[in-house]
């Protein structure tokens, strides 16, 4: 009896460990296809819990009808096959275009990929309980131990995956390992070694699968699909990171593109630090050049480093500039030094921590001329960096005439996030002290694009800025400032909310971007 209880505890520990590993891996493996948002994690958690719940119910029925060790063996074996199916299904279905809402797309994909493995794993515990209980007088003791070891497996699976396994092994190798562990567990705990015929079948199938994976299937199923221009790939604790060769927008020069999850975040020309490919970065540079010309001071804090494109350029452009970069992912900083042209002996100070944590705990005596927010993208916006409370913290770090700049990707006509973010900054910096700068004069017909929000406690003399950049005769000028009258009219016409720590529905606000960009319809 004691041996059976120990065996049962080990089995449920393994099953629960693998279930939570799969659940955490799900968020990372889906990120390149649907981003990382509240919708993503809601769908993953909901689908996995639904699979476990239905699996527990079906497993109870199976346990009563087939109360034998081989049943447990087959469930472990099938759960292993289910784990092995996740990676190829993600490759196959991830790029599928479903004509539906963003929420429904994510829910459908996660259901097709993760429901069946979760359901089979959910069947294991009822079968284990049935096989272990022989004395009803000890039901509470036995079930309590099984439940405790099951929960312990979930806890260790959670911490091991989030803190260690993903950055060490990568999501696809984790799934391969989980599948093999479950199949081996089927052989050990399924009672099949006592039956030579069944044992031979299991070994034959296992060897066949292993050889197939090793020689023909592994390259597709358990490797991230990469094109021939990608020369670096790494899954960190925060992103799926790629570096690939690409042409600049004018198609004259080959550059290095930093891809984080699904989005090209930065484009650097290794031998030309002054090349700024993205229009919004050129807007940043024009504002900084104007400020440097007027005051001769440039102390800048970047929240979000990415490829360090502008910090790298500023370091060489202005030898007296002080540049701090807060980049949450230390792996990105390492990639920037190794592949994207930032030397190890740079004057740029890097801080690998969360942007809000840095700002909240900053003890800088000399405050910043600029704070540059470059942590927003189209499908994954760190909501805690958008709120009124964080804007107040940033305002504290600015000089009296300091300037906050942030890039926002949204649709001018249909977007909900941009007007809300502008309204939020107006609550802190004051109405009339927040400006919208665009790469194009025609705001109405630009659709989804990147714009720059500019804010200052004293207000920015945008007329002087426009005059300064206009001295170039209009050639290559990137910044087009919307008048305050037009901006206030835009804010009046567009629905908006003030974003606070208590109410910050960023994922809902940016959903229209995804749906418009990929042709999904809203209901």
CA–CA separation, 487 and 485 (whole Å): 5
Q: Diameter of the chain by CA atoms? A: 91
CB 253 within 8 Å of CB 241: no
Q: For the whole model, what pTM was predicted?
A: 0.79
**What are the start and end residues of each CATH 3.40.50.150 domain in the chain?**
272-517
Q: What are φ and ψ of residue 520, in 5° steps? A: -85, 155
Q: Which of 429, 404, 173 is nearest to 303 (CA)?
A: 404
Q: Any residues with CB less than 8 A from the CB of 168 and at least 6 apart, and which?
A: none
Residues of the chain with CATH 1.20.1250: 2-221
Question: Is 3.50.30.10 the CATH classification of the domain at 272-517?
Answer: no
End-to-end CA distance of the chain: give it in Å, rounded: 57
CATH code reported for the domain at 2-221: 1.20.1250
Distance set, CA 428 to CA 242, 302, 395 (Å):
37, 20, 8
Q: Which of 217, 218, 219, 182 is nearest to 202 (CA)?
A: 182
DSSP, collapsed to helix, strand or coil, labels residue 420 as helix
CA-CA distance, 313 to 371, in Å (whole number)? 16
Q: What is the 3-state secondary structure (H, E, C) of 26-93?
A: HHHHHHHHHCCCHHHHHHHHHHHHHHHHHHHHHHHHHHHHCCCHHHHHHHHHHHHHHHHHHHHHHHHH
- What six digits make up the tokens of 485? 């009258």
- Per-residue pLDDT of the chain (523 residues), as tens digits, is 577 888 889 999 999 999 999 999 998 888 777 777 778 888 999 999 999 999 999 999 999 999 888 899 999 999 999 999 898 888 888 767 666 677 788 888 999 999 999 999 999 999 999 888 876 667 788 788 889 999 999 999 999 998 888 878 888 889 989 998 998 898 888 865 555 566 666 666 666 665 555 544 555 555 666 678 889 988 888 888 999 999 998 878 999 999 988 788 899 999 999 999 999 999 999 999 999 988 888 999 999 999 999 999 999 999 999 999 999 999 999 999 999 999 999 999 999 999 999 999 887 777 999 999 988 876 678 889 999 999 999 999 999 999 999 999 888 888 889 999 999 999 999 999 999 999 876 666 567 788 999 999 988 899 999 889 887 655 578 888 999 999 999 999 999 999 999 998 888 888 777 666 555 544 4
Contacts of 31 (CB under 8 A, 6+ apart): 40, 239, 240, 261, 262, 380
């Amino acid at each position: 009896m004691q041996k059976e209880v120990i065996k049962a505890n080990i089995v449920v520990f393994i099953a629960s460990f693998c279930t939570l590993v799969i659940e955490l891996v799900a968020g990372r493996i889906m990120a390149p296809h649907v981003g990382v948002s509240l919708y993503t994690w809601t769908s993953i958690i909901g689908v996995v819990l639904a699979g476990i719940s239905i699996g527990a119910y079906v497993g109870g029925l199976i346990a009563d009808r087939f109360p034998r060790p081989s049943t447990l063996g087959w469930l472990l074996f099938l759960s292993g096959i289910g784990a092995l199916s996740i990676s190829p299904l993600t490759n196959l279905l991830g790029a599928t275009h479903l004509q539906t809402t963003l929420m429904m797309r994510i829910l459908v994909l996660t259901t097709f990929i993760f429901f069946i493995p979760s359901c089979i794993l959910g069947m294991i515990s009822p079968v284990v309980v049935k096989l272990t209980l022989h004395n009803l007088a000890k039901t509470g003791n036995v079930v309590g131990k099984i439940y405790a070891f099951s929960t312990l497996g979930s806890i260790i699976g959670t911490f091991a995956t989030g803190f260690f396994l993903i950055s060490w092994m990568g999501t696809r190798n984790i799934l391969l390992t989980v599948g093999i562990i479950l199949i081996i567990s089927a052989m050990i705990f399924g009672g099949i070694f006592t039956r030579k015929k069944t044992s031979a079948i299991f070994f034959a199938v296992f060897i066949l699968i292993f050889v197939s994976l090793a020689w023909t299937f592994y390259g597709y199923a358990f490797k991230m699909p990469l094109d021939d221009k990608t020369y670096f790939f790494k899954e960190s604790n925060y992103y799926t990171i790629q570096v690939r060769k690409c042409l600049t927008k004018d198609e004259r020069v080959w550059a290095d593109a930093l891809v984080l999850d699904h989005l090209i975040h930065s484009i650097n020309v290794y031998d030309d630090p002054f090349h700024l490919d993205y229009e919004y970065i050129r807007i940043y540079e024009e504002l900084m050049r104007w400020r440097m010309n007027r005051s001769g001071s440039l102390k800048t804090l970047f929240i979000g480093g990415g490829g360090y494109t502008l910090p790298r350029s500023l370091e060489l452009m202005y030898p007296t500039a002080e540049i701090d970069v807060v980049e949450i992912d230390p792996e990105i900083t390492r990639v920037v030094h190794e592949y994207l042209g930032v030397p190890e002996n740079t004057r740029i100070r890097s801080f690998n921590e969360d942007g809000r944590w840095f700002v909240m705990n900053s003890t800088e005596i000399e405050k910043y001329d600029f704070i540059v927010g470059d942590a927003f993208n189209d499908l994954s916006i760190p909501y805690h960096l958008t709120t009124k409370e964080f804007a107040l913290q940033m305002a504290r770090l600015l000089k009296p005439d300091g300037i906050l700049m942030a890039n926002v990707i949204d649709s001018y006509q249909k977007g909900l996030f941009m007007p809300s973010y502008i309204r939020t900054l107006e609550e802190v910096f004051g109405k009339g002290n927040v400006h919208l700068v665009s790469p194009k004069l025609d705001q109405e017909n630009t659709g989804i694009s990147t714009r720059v929000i500019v804010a200052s406690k004293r207000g920015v003399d945008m007329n002087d800025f426009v005059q300064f950049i206009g001295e170039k005769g209009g050639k290559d000028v990137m910044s087009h400032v919307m008048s305050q009258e037009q901006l206030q009219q835009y804010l009046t016409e567009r629905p908006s909310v003030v974003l606070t720590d208590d109410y910050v529905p960023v994922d809902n606000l940016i959903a229209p971007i995804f749906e418009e960009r990929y042709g999904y319809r809203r209901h």
